[in-house]
Amino acid sequence: MIVMNLKLDNIYSFNNFEIDFSFPKKPVKESLIGPECLSDRPRFRYKKALILMGANATGKTILGRALLNIFKYMQTGNTALLLEMAGYNTPASFIIDFVNNEHMLKRLSAVIDPTSGTVRAYGCGRWIKEKDSYEICARDLELMDPFEIGTMLPDGIRHMHDAAELRDFVGSFNYRFAYPDIDQSMKLDVVDEKEMLRTLRAVIGTLDPSLNNISVSKELKNSYIIRRKEEEIIIQEGQIHNKEALSRGTIEGIDVAVFLAAMRKKGSGFYYCDEHFSYIQSDIEKRIFGLMVERIGTDGQLIFTTHNTDMLDLNLPKHSFAFLRKEQEGDDYRISVMYASDLLKRNTDSVRSAAENDMFMSLPDDSLLDALEVDDE
């Protein structure tokens, strides 16, 4: 699954929001990401690995949540997933352009009416020719009349019929999301046991050398045992037991290990890793990000959110960095995105320097803290 463009309106905190995962020009030099184009379509370029930054409450986590709900809806036709994202009494919508398992650009759009509890979904697609770019294909999609996949109603028969039609349009695809408050992130039954054990030993052993005795449980299904002298920490069915014996960084590291192992098992797919390194050293975060990039696979994609400005020093093209910001518009606040490649045109331009000088307008406004400074008078 490759996401090329996403538009959200009245979805969670997003109003008239758009994020673009394509880029028009071939990078001048190679980066650790490697080729960033659809297989056998060198001009159909997409951001294979995107580092997404921004201050707190700018939407990094809820963007992942919106994408996860849209993906689940694509697979199941469950309209409740979309209705829970919409604001009260106000219609909401999304448009997603994606490529999935074949050389066809598809567009799925949905209009969500929370008042009536209905969703109207529309789809269209265009075959991607050998010399086509995303921009050419997207322009053609704008000229098409999309077909209505169905009026999604909350009754059984009609809903199931529409779900099958939706799955036929989208096709099958793999995805993995990881962030602290999502229970799916620790799902172990889809991870190869040997790969999971190997990854746990490498990641956990790096974060805490005293935890070097890790094994598969012989009595419990989909379970692993971490031993420290007489102490046992059990990872069972995605839940960590006795986790009070672990540091916050090690707990995050376990989820990172599951994510890495799943990438190796699934190969090509869509991956969203949200701020999983708050308690892990910067150098380790950069090293593990590099391992994730190696595992994306052909026609795969990784979105990686972080607050760590050291990530801006990585050997990545400028289009691999995007910044979310929240600006006040009248009585409301609007989330938007800025791309490093839009502002920095020269090879010598530093993304880190631009971010530290707030050229992307993504740093928090700390002026309210001035009121807490000691008054000398």
Question: What are the strands of the beta sheet with 301-305, ordered from one edge?
Answer: 175-178, 270-274, 301-305, 49-54, 321-329, 332-339
Per-residue CA distances from 89 to 83, 85, 112, 113, 224 (Å):
11, 12, 10, 8, 47
Q: Residue 184's closest CA among 132, 269, 259?
A: 259
| Ordered per-residue pLDDT tens for the chain, 377 residues | 999 999 999 999 899 999 999 998 877 677 789 899 999 999 999 999 999 999 888 889 999 999 999 999 999 999 999 999 998 888 999 999 999 988 999 999 999 999 988 899 999 999 999 999 999 999 999 999 999 886 555 554 444 447 888 999 999 998 999 876 544 445 666 678 888 999 999 999 999 999 989 999 988 888 899 998 888 899 887 788 888 888 888 888 888 998 999 888 766 799 999 988 888 899 999 999 999 999 998 899 999 999 999 999 998 999 999 999 988 877 788 999 999 999 998 888 999 999 988 888 887 777 777 788 876 55
Q: Is 330 left (phi over 0), alpha (psi -120 to 50) or beta?
A: left
Report d(CA 193, CA 217) in Å as an integer: 11
Q: Alpha helix locations (H) across 143-192?
A: 156-170
Q: What is the pLDDT of residue 308?
A: 92
Q: Which of 47, 13, 34, 11 is nearest to 341 (CA)?
A: 47
Determine how many CB atoms are found less than 10 A away from the CB of residue 25: 9
Dihedral of alpha carbons 279, 283, 289, 294, sign: negative
The pair of three-digit structure tokens given for residue 92, joined into one six-digit string: 């909401």
The residues pairing with 304 across neighbouring beta strands, listed in sequence order, are 51, 273
Q: Where are the domains of the chain?
A: 2-173+317-366, 178-294
Strand partners, 235: 224, 240
Please calculate the CA angle 234-238-240 and round it to the nearest 5 degrees.
Answer: 35
Q: Which residues pair with 119 in a beta bridge?
A: 112, 152
CA distances from 359 to 301, 344, 348, 369 (A): 27, 10, 16, 22
* Residue 215 structure tokens: 């094994």
pLDDT of residue 331: 76
Q: How far apart are the first and last CA of the chain?
A: 62
pLDDT at 153: 54
pLDDT at position 107: 98
Strands 270-274 and 301-305: parallel
The whole-model pTM stands at 0.90
pLDDT at position 376: 53
CATH class of the domain comprising 178-294: alpha beta
Q: What are phi and psi of 318, to 5 degrees?
A: -65, -25
